[in-house]
Structures are given as structure tokens and as C-alpha cells.
A = this chain, B = another copy of it.
Amino acid sequence: MFDFGLPAFFDVLAEPQRSELQKLARPKTYRDGEILHQPSDVADSMGWIESGALLFGKYLQEEGFHTLARLGPGHHFGEFSAFSSPLGETPLRRLAAVAEGRTVVNEIAAEDLRGLFTSDPEYLRAFHFVTTARLALLLELYDDARRLPARQRIINFLSLVERLMKDERLVTCTQADVSKMLGLSKVTVNQTLRALTERGVISVGYGTIKFEDAARLHAMTDRV
């Protein structure tokens, strides 16, 4: 999952909770390719991305590190490390995290967060809000991946992103990002985006896609 159009924790969090976290956090800078943690490492901190991006993934027998999600500025991870598990287990990282380009992450030790998270529901409200949005997007993408041809998946995906963006009409993403997100070849993505451009539905800039005719885009999905 990539973060196109998805709300980010730090943008959703209210004041004064935002300032509270900023006071507790220490910014840490990672260089491109640097590993923050590995699967099964003990999770003892949460973080949110200040600049740059993180890739979350796992290791496969064939290809080694394989990206499942890419998150950019404002997006968080590891908040579960500050919640006590019902069974009292030590929380572990599920995925590896690797910096993409020079990346600054604001990090807070889990022990500094426990008290906050159990006394003020605003933090959990913000976590739950963004996690629910991620889940809703992923549920649609998964369903499309199971049953639709590539061209229709690209159209449905763009329509979902357009809705998530609300009043924004420009999304920062390359054709390679769309191709990674949907697991489709760059050639297929390029052909479909070109056809949509010719029909005046979108326009493609340098690293951006602009929605020119959202009503027409939605009419091209297979949704009612």
C-alpha cells in the first residue's frame, strides 16, 4: 500500500496532542537503504515520517526484500508497541522498514507513550481513523486484484484515489508508483494512462497525475 490520498496520522491528530508528541520526539536521520528494523525485532518505539519515505516489507526466498507498503511524511508506524497486549506478549515488528532516500523519522520510546495513550483517547482516535482509511482502500484494491483485468484495476484505483483526495486534483505519483502499487507492468500502466489522457480524463505531468474529469473517470469504473 502506498499513501496516495490516504490521511496521515500526524495531520489527523488534534492540538494540543500534536505538540505533545513533538515535544517527546527525537528526529533521527536515515540514509537511503538504511534498515530501521527487521521482522521479529522487539518493537519499543513508534515513529512518524518527517521527510523522505519508508518502505515496509518482508523477505522472500526468491527476491530478498519485497516492499508491501510505502509511507511518506506524516504517516506513522509502530504505535502498537505502546499498547499492552491482552496476553502480555512482548510486541514484535511484523515487517522490515527501510529508508527510501534520505529520510527523517520522529521517534518516541514506547514507555514514554503508554501513559498518554491510556489517559487521552485523542491519540487512539487518530490512529483508528487512519488505519480504517487504509483498510477501506486495501479492501477495494484486493477485491479488484482478485477479479479484474489490468486496465479496469488502474481505472478503479485512480477513481478511489480521486475520491480520497477530495478537493485536491493533483496527486504526486509516477507511473512506476502506480505500477508497484498494483503489481502491474509499467507498459500496461503507461498504455492505460495514455488512453485516459487522450480522452481528457486525466493529465500526466512530471511525477504527477491530475484529475481532469472525475465524473467521467468514475463512470468508467465497474461500480454502480
Q: Chain A residues in contact with chain B, CB under 8 A?
A: 1, 12, 14, 58-62, 66, 68-69, 80, 83, 86, 94, 117-121, 123-125, 127-129, 131-132, 134-136, 138-143, 145-147, 182-183, 222-224
A sample of 12 cross-chain residue pairs with beta-carbon separation below 8 angstroms, ordered by A number, consists of A1-B139, A59-B223, A61-B222, A62-B222, A68-B140, A69-B139, A83-B125, A118-B121, A124-B124, A134-B135, A143-B183, A147-B183
A-B pairs, 4 with minimum CB distance: A146-B183, A124-B124, A59-B224, A121-B121
Interchain CA distance A141-B59 in the complex, whole Å: 15
Interchain CA distance A134-B142 in the complex, whole Å: 13
Chain B residues near A134: list those with CB within 8 A: 135
Interchain CA distance A40-B68 in the complex, whole Å: 31
Q: Is the interface of A mostly helix, strand, loop or mixed?
A: helix
Given contacts A60-B222, A61-B224, A138-B138, 9 further A-B contacts (CB under 8 A): A14-B86, A60-B224, A83-B129, A120-B121, A121-B123, A131-B131, A131-B135, A138-B139, A138-B142
Contact yes or no, B139 A68, CB < 8 A: yes
Interchain CA distance A80-B80 in the complex, whole Å: 20
User: Quick one: which of A1, A12, A62 has the most chain B CB within 10 A?
Assistant: A1
Q: Which of B68, B131, B143 contacts A128 (CB 8 A)?
A: B131
Chain B residues near A140: list those with CB within 8 A: 68
Chain B residues near A123: list those with CB within 8 A: 121
Chain B residues near A138: list those with CB within 8 A: 135, 138-139, 142
Interchain CA distance A222-B131 in the complex, whole Å: 27
Q: Nearest chain-B residue to A62 (Cβ)?
A: B222
Q: Nearest chain-B residue to A84 (Cβ)?
A: B125
Q: Nearest chain-B residue to A39 (Cβ)?
A: B224
Distance (whole angstroms) from the CB of A219 to the closest CB of chain B: 10
Interchain CA distance A69-B140 in the complex, whole Å: 10
Q: Nearest chain-B residue to A131 (Cβ)?
A: B131
Chain B residues near A135: list those with CB within 8 A: 131, 134-135, 138
Q: Nearest chain-B residue to A61 (Cβ)?
A: B222
Distance (whole angstroms) from the CB of A195 to the closest CB of chain B: 20
